[in-house]
Structure formats: structure tokens, C-alpha cells
Amino acid sequence: MSSYQDVLSLAQRLSPNEQIQLIEALTTLIHQPVEVEGSDELFSVAEIAESEATLQNYWKGCDRGLSAADLKQKIMVGLEVSEHEVVDYETVARLHTCGSS
């Protein structure tokens, strides 16, 4: 299988119309649901990638997740809990290190 750089190089050689067709085909591919092993649920490739990125940020310490209290509030009340509600020195240092994405 070709590397990303090989595929990108080939895509750059396409005509503008062919590049648009390629984008449309890749967009369709990304949004096709994928069945998760051991489950009947279907997820898009984009959802899986977002979940993986979130997990990586958690493992790196860039996202500590929700506290039990925040999770309970989010579930019971249905309110969106800001991931950066409490700002202290540790939080500022973590955001500076990991980026504020």
C-alpha cells in the first residue's frame, strides 16, 4: 500500500475536476458507518478518529475528562459542561503544554 506522501503526490497531479471528485469520494468513504467488533453499533470513520484523538489527549494528560459530579450533572440535567470551567495554575500549565484545541 502506498504511503500518505505517495498518495498526496498523485492527488496533486490530478486536474482540478479530478481533485474535486477525489474529495467527494473520500468524504463519502469517511462518512460510511463502520461496525464496531463485539457491538451492533455503527460509527463513522470520523467519529472513531475523534474518539481516538480524545483518548490520546487523555493519556497524555491534556484532557482529564469529566469529574463524577460533572458527569452526573451532564447526564441528569442535560447541561453541557465546559471542559475548562475551573482555571487554576495546573490547568493553565496543561493547556499551554497541550494546546487549547
9-45 CB burial, b ≥16 within 10 A, e <16? eeeeeeeeeeeeeeeeeeeeeeeeeeeeeeeeeeeee
Hey, CA dihedral for 57, 62, 64, 66, is it positive or negative?
Answer: negative
The total domain count for the chain is: 3
pLDDT tens for 18-50 read: 999 999 998 888 777 777 777 777 777 778 888
The whole domain housing 14 covers 1-31
Q: What is d(CA 62, CA 64) in angstroms, rounded to the nearest whole number?
A: 7
**How does residue 90 score in pLDDT terms, banded at 50, 70 and 90?**
low
Asked whether residue 15 falls in the same domain as residue 36, the answer is no
The cell numbers describing 14, all together, are: 490530478
pLDDT tens for 38-84 read: 777 777 777 888 888 888 887 887 877 777 777 777 776 654 445 54
Asked whether residue 26 falls in the same domain as residue 38, the answer is no
